[in-house]
Chain A
Amino acid sequence: MSARTNKPHEVVERALELSRADGCVVIADEQSTANLRWAGNALTTNGVTRGRTLTVIATVDGRAGTASGVVSRAAVTADELEPLVRAAEAAARGAGPAEDAQPLVTGVAESPDFTDAPAETSSAVFADFAPALGESFARARAGGRELYGFANHELVSSYLGTSTGLRLRHDQPNGTLELNAKSPDRKRSAWAGRSTRDFKDVDPASLDAELAVRLGWAERRVELPAGRYETLLPPTAVADLLIYQMWSAAARDAAEGRTVFSKPGGGTRLGEKLTELPLTLRSDPNEPGLESAPFVLTHSSGDTASVFDNGLPLAATDWVREGELAHLSTTRHSAGLTGLPVAPTIDNLILDGGADRSLEEMVASTERGLLLTCLWYIREVDPATLLLTGLTRDGVYLVENGQVTGEVNNFRFNESPVDLLGRAVEAGRTEKTLPREWSDWFTRAAMPALRIPDFNMSSVSQGV
């Protein structure tokens, strides 16, 4: 809608009033972003954006079942509202019965701020950060370092209304900072990342100082061949691997025999011990510092989401409990198909249950091993084992007798996160971390470092 017309909650109400379908779900998303990007100690691009999208999900009952039609449009004006609702209804009539059809959700209390104006971010979020970043550039230049990176802040206010009376609202702030330091010849590289809700808790100067130490570690270079090495995976790397595992944990696929969580002979591996360590992999929309939408908010149906579930309250869910596979993700429909409890995906992921040792303490107790910084270009090689390939990046360090003694070349790895959990011999203290590979889609994670006795470095990468 234009500024002259209605507020988001009013748009939702109006769309619901216009609906002639048997059921209707309306989601209004108001999005604002601000970002800064830099390379070689200089800003390259920047931007502030405003976006507004209205999604109408119409459901139409028929003799063969209920169909759904989903139509989303940006920047809908008042005149375009009715055509959008009609388009969703036409899409439903043309789609045929939806396999995931369920009664629309009812009985969830209205969000108290449903009628409030959307939250917004702007370049003001960088008011303190931007000058500090500029000073870091100057300090890095003087110290013989080049800084590369990206700072992004986003606020999405989502308003969900349904013909069954739900009126829910969620504001999701999402901030990320990635800082990469390189030597001027670009033969040494180090990285650090942070997730933040408001940029008040990130300090580019301290991150730059941390990276300067790492570039110092890299002044001694050690070439190692491919092979299996005792490896310390830092929290960001653990997050990237376990997020992929989470994305591969659809209950229906497992029950159909086509994932790593399928049991030979039929059924799923639920109840199976995945690791001897007392680790719990869980999601909780109310996790402090990692808060995410406390109800299902989905714009399309898929293997782990159903538009019919919109508004369904989300509860804390253990995916792996004390080392044992406890839940696979389900919609109400796939829960019915598989006979498993309803367990929708939640937009954060936490692994805890390890010891209280920091990564530094784990390094100190390492006789000889590799300390990774992060992983990159992770892709699935074999769904049967959930074998993933990818690369180490921005610093692989050799640890000898409890000390970092130099930097090692990068490697390509071939590993399965499920197998890694089974082979991990130590987990450290859980800490909030930014998953580097998946931070475009998933930023809210808390993980421990893991010690893997025999991580498969499949080949050497010349890349730095």
Chain B
Amino acid sequence: MPHEVDQSFLALPLRALADAALARARALGAAHADFRFERVRSAAWRLRDAKPAGSSDTTDLGYAVRVVHGGTWGFASGVDLTMDAAAKVAGQAVAMAKLSAQVIKAAGSDERVELADEPVHAEKTWISSYDIDPFSVPDEEKSGLLADWSSRLLAADGVNHVDASLLTVHENKFYADTAGTVTTQQRVRLHPQLTAVAVDESSGEFDSMRTIAPPVGRGWEYLMGTGWDWESELGRIPELLAEKMRAPSVEAGVYDLVVDPSNLWLTIHESIGHATELDRALGYEAAYAGTSFATFDQLGKLRYGSELMNVTGDRTAEHGLATIGYDDEGVAGQSWDLVKDGTLVGYQLDRRIAKLTGFERSNGCAYADSPGHVPVQRMANVSLQPDPAGMSTEDLIGSVDRGIYVVGDRSWSIDMQRYNFQFTGQRFFRIENGRITGQLRDVAYQATTTDFWGSMAAVGGPGTYVLGGAFNCGKAQPGQVAAVSHGCPSALFKGVNILNTTQEAGR
């Protein structure tokens, strides 16, 4: 269903504030200035055992001015919706650039900020793909649906508690710069999640089973069954949880893994998505999120994984959480290769990093999560491509003699250069002679990124492909969060190290 940009957003003094800010920045000598007005409405509902346990409905609204002045960045933001205030914020941005210049001078540096060229996109509007704006749905309906689903789970044998949550976001963004690009955009996204908990009071053991439905760039229709079969998933959870409670603890060792897209998206996010951010590889995140083993000198050379590995960066995927028309530097959304036939061939870029490293154009990866934050180089939808002739998940499992089928994400951690990682999951199924023979508990897999992707022995077909993702990717200082999707098929990895987490805990 086609939508229009919210009239209440368009009614704000977007252009007047932009004109005032950009004119002031120009008058103060800025070589470049951009103005961004954002309204981000985020609402969350939590239910505990089918009862309301907290809700919030937060609207962030304001604007930001970023300048390049004297070869340095300056950034400021404000909330007062007057032209005088916007001009003042532009002046503060220039003042920050001048403060930076003082530091740079004291340091004896000659570094200057320059931006890669981008065609001017004048008067463009872009709206993400969704049917029903979740904010048009009455709150009673939302909490009622979550309560109904929770009650159904609670009624099942062996389910002691149910936690339910729903996050919804409606994001409007207006951008204008001194080159003449003016864009207005609107995005919608949501993330429902239910977790069933079983407690064996006598032994003190407990465990949980969570839905694996991913967060999506869709509307309320997602909870009505468009894009996910909720009936099927909710129906299976009590049985899966009961089986998990009875499951044997895994024997630590080396196994072949069939990794479901519901788990593999997160491994992609951590070991490929962040590792191919060029700002990281160059050291701009070094003190915080870290750098990357995929350094710039290895572009076109680094053997990232097996020849079956083809990974794209994509700002255009329908329903993707990082899908946009134009980024926060006025760059149009694009799709490109990051890893081709197992070799590193691309990076994620913003305009400054593109210029610095000799790329002709940014691929549109600048994003700020709020009007109070500066755009930083941010992850596109980074996705592993399926094998057009690839197997089904069942056939991948059928090809394994002794292994584990990993479903759903849970715990994740990776080092600051993206080498060493450890992941857990929601469901681990033992594979014996090509057949699933029950669940296992206490499983974590641990590997080095290139070893892991080098061990990928088969990639599933298009029928196994799922667009997973997260709302809460953290990066930068001050910290920012972004939503991002990762598509992938099921895939087979040979000889992966499996830990027993109770043994790791010294039990």
A positions within 8 Å CB-CB of B: 2-3, 33, 35-53, 67-75, 77, 87, 90-91, 94-100, 123, 126, 130-131, 133-135, 137-138, 141, 146, 148-150, 152, 178-180, 182, 186, 191, 256-258, 262-266, 299-303, 307, 376-385, 387, 389-391, 393, 410, 412, 414-416, 419, 440, 456, 458-464
Contacts and interface: CB of A to CB of B under 8 A. Distances in A.
Contacts of A456: 504, 506
A47 B374 contact: yes
Contacts of B106: 131, 133-135, 137-138
B419 A256 contact: no
B166 interface: no
B446 A458 contact: yes
Given A74-B79, A77-B81, A51 B62 contact: yes
A49 B76 contact: yes
B206 interface: yes
A51 B64 CA distance: 11
Given A46-B73, A131-B102, A150-B287, A98 B56 contact: no
Given A42-B109, A97-B52, A391 B479 contact: no
B372 A385 contact: no
A412 B56 contact: no
B276 interface: no
B202 interface: yes
Contacts of B109: 41-42, 137
Given A46-B96, A381-B504, A91 B75 contact: no
A376 B418 CA distance: 12
A392 to B, nearest CB: 9
A391 B415 contact: yes
Contact of B506 (A75, A256, A303, A419): A419
Nearest to B286: A148
Contacts of A266: 201
B199 interface: yes
B501 interface: yes
B161 interface: yes
B296 to A, nearest CB: 13
Contact of A384 (B97, B206, B420): B206
B404 to A, nearest CB: 16
Given A35-B478, A50-B79, 12 more contacts: A37-B477, A45-B75, A51-B372, A53-B60, A91-B139, A96-B143, A148-B287, A257-B201, A378-B413, A384-B206, A389-B422, A459-B497
B7 interface: no
Contacts of A459: 420, 422, 446, 497
8 contacts: A39-B286, A42-B107, A47-B96, A49-B373, A134-B103, A152-B477, A382-B502, A440-B479
B322 to A, nearest CB: 21
Contacts of B505: 382, 385, 387, 414-416, 419
Contacts of A380: 411
A300 B420 contact: no
Contact of A299 (B56, B374, B474): B56
Given A258-B206, A265-B204, A379-B413, A95 B55 contact: yes
Contact of A96 (B52, B207, B420, B442): B52
Chain B interface residue bracket vs A: 35 or more
Contact of A389 (B55, B79, B413): B413
B74 A46 contact: yes
B91 to A, nearest CB: 11
B49 to A, nearest CB: 8
B139 to A, nearest CB: 4
B402 interface: no
A365 B412 CA distance: 36
A149 B54 contact: no
B59 interface: yes
Interface string B71-114: 01111111111100100000010011101101111111101000
B197 A258 contact: yes
A390 B413 contact: yes
Contacts of B208: 258
Given A134-B104, A381-B504, A385-B505, A71 B283 contact: no
B203 to A, nearest CB: 6
A51 B106 CA distance: 31
Given A131-B103, A384-B206, A462-B293, A302 B54 contact: yes
A58 to B, nearest CB: 11
A376 B287 CA distance: 11
A95 B52 contact: yes
Contacts of B497: 459
A418 to B, nearest CB: 10
Contact of A385 (B60, B499, B507): B507
A377 B414 contact: yes
B284 interface: yes
The 10 closest A-B pairs by CB, nearest first: A134-B106, A264-B204, A301-B54, A137-B107, A463-B415, A94-B139, A463-B417, A148-B287, A75-B79, A180-B287
